[in-house]
Amino acid sequence: MMSSKRLTQLSVVCWVAVLFFQSVQSQLQVGFYRNSCRRAELIVRNAVRDGINKDRGVAAGLVRMHFHDCFVRGCEGSVLLDSTSSNTAEKDSPANSNSLRGYEVVDDAKAKLEAECRGVVSCADILAFAARDSFDLTGGISYDVPAGRRDGTVSLAAETSDLPPPTLNVDQLTQNFAKKGLSQEEMVTLSGGHTIGRSHCTSFRNRLYNFSGANSQDPSLDATYAASLKQKCPQASTDPNLVVPMDTITPTISDVSYYRDILANRGLFTSDQTLLSNTATASQVKSNSRSPLGWKRKFAAAMVKMGQIEVLTGNTGEIRANCRVINS
């Protein structure tokens, strides 16, 4: 049996952990703009809807952008900042350049919010709302987004090394998410964001032609699927703009087809298919594939948790007037 001293120490540790979690939770609040900018969330949602009506792919771009924002310096809008003559910003790093979409939606929402409630709504909160609305408007579900984030003033391309590349295996993914306070199950849940959107051929070409020798392909890829990918991504092509949908069945709808693809060996990235290589994550893939509403609820909860990584609140940071530049 555990000693009374050890039990006391454990209780103190657990209590401190609970207090820490509660303090993080209390930094942000659902309905934060209820009094200061009553229509804030509606304005963002309308901007997202307009953006999706013009380009369905914008939804995936905004979900991805929120993820990429939160994993670098926390959820403080640094991914939205433009590069300057003296600094290359996150958005222009190899991990983000030519892959993130939806900046114009954030700009549209920000301009309308500044006209209605000048200097009130942060760009970081706009992005968190926009990611939620993108998921909802593509067949997911809506959920409450705690708000009150403030905007950071630093954006460095070099720091995007924190973002998980598509070549990671399940252990590396687990470690990468753990560094941000996210569990392995939350990693599997958030990976389901790949149910919408597209990928450049360069992100998975290694699985088609040079996996373990000249002209070899990843044996975990379904042969028919691999053949179709090779047609869309020819080995001899030098076009960096070639893209394919990440979900083979419903690439514009937020559903569990992503998990069903993995079970059929049609996961596009190494980081997708690797989820079957671990007993626990494979079980979660199967469970999610059978429970569309269950996955959507878990995804919503994981997005809320992710959206609280290293937030700036109170008097830290600023409320940018323009999401692309810091206030002068």
CA 211/CA 245 separation, integer angstroms: 21
> Does 66 qualify as catalytic in the annotation?
no
CA 317/CA 26 separation, integer angstroms: 18
| C-alpha Rg value of the chain to the nearest Å | 21
Does 248 count as an annotated binding residue? no
Does 125 count as an annotated binding residue? no
Does 121 count as an annotated binding residue? no
The token duo for 83 is 């590069």
- Alpha-carbon torsion angle 208, 210, 211, 217, nearest 10: 40
Does 72 count as an annotated binding residue? yes
The token duo for 24 is 């993080």
Nearest to 255 by CA among 283, 293, 281, 287: 293
Does 250 count as an annotated binding residue? yes
Does 195 count as an annotated binding residue? yes
**DSSP H/E element including 244:** strand 243-245
- Given the structure tokens 């990429």, which residue do they identify? 68
Does 247 count as an annotated binding residue? yes
**DSSP H/E element including 15:** helix 4-27
Residue 198 DSSP class: E
CA 257/CA 247 separation, integer angstroms: 7
* Active-site residue, from 68, 73, 110, 305: 68
Q: Please report, for residues 198, 201, 262, the alpha-carbon distance to residue 230 in angstroms, rounded to integers and kept in the order given.
A: 16, 9, 18
Phi, psi angle pair for 77, to nearest 5°? 75, 10
Does 16 count as an annotated binding residue? no
Which residues are known catalytic residues? 68
Residues of each annotated binding site for Ca(2+):
69, 72, 74, 78, 90, 195, 247, 250, 255
Residues of each annotated binding site for heme b:
194
Residues of each annotated binding site for substrate:
164
Residues of each annotated binding site:
69, 72, 74, 78, 90, 164, 194-195, 247, 250, 255
